[in-house]
Amino acid sequence: MVKYLSEEWRAEVEKRLREQLTPEKMNNLTSSMNNLYLNCPDGKSHYFFVGFAGGSVESVQVGEGEGPKAEFVISGEYEVFAKISRAELGAQKALMGGLLKLKGNMVKALKLASLSDRLNKIIATIETEF
């Protein structure tokens, strides 16, 4: 069991994404996404960044604050992201329901929604303490 958004959690996410997401499964995507978690249990904001190059995982980062620049920035409450990471809520449903806010090209983001769901399904398999 790893603590959500910890370095151990990040390492496990990166390991599983690299093992389970082939460039073909990710449509040879080159993009980046930064999730900005607001109102975390420690009272701070945290981020979870994933970058892809040619469909391969290039970078997975977590930390305090706003994080690195990304093509897409998705912000929302910690608990909303936790529900997505536990597979209790779909990311697309959360976005369309106004629970998450997106900065970036909405048309491209909607096209990438199924790829984002693949990431979240893998993340949901990690035994995590929230």
pLDDT of residue 122: 96
Q: In whole angstroms, give the CA distance from residue 86 to residue 125.
A: 8
Domain ranges for the chain, please list them: 2-129
Query: Which fold is adopted by the domain 2-129?
Result: Nonspecific Lipid-transfer Protein; Chain A (3.30.1050)
Model confidence pLDDT, tens digit, residues 41-87:
999 999 999 999 999 999 999 999 999 999 999 999 999 999 999 99
pLDDT of residue 9: 98
- Beta carbons within 8 Å of 8's beta carbon, 6+ residues apart: 2
Residue 112 has phi, psi (to 5 degrees) of -90, 0
Nearest to 70 by CA among 120, 112, 121, 19: 112
**Using H for helix, E for strand and C for coil, what is the string for the chain?**
CEECCCHHHHHHHHHHHHHHCCCCCCCCCCEEEEEEEECCCCCCCEEEEEEEECCEEEEEEEEECCCCCCCEEEEEEHHHHHHHHCCCCCHHHHHHCCCEEEECCHHHHHHCHHHHHHHHHHHCCCCEEC
Model confidence pLDDT, tens digit, residues 93-111:
998 999 999 999 888 887 7
Nearest to 116 by CA among 96, 89, 86, 91: 91
pLDDT of residue 117: 86
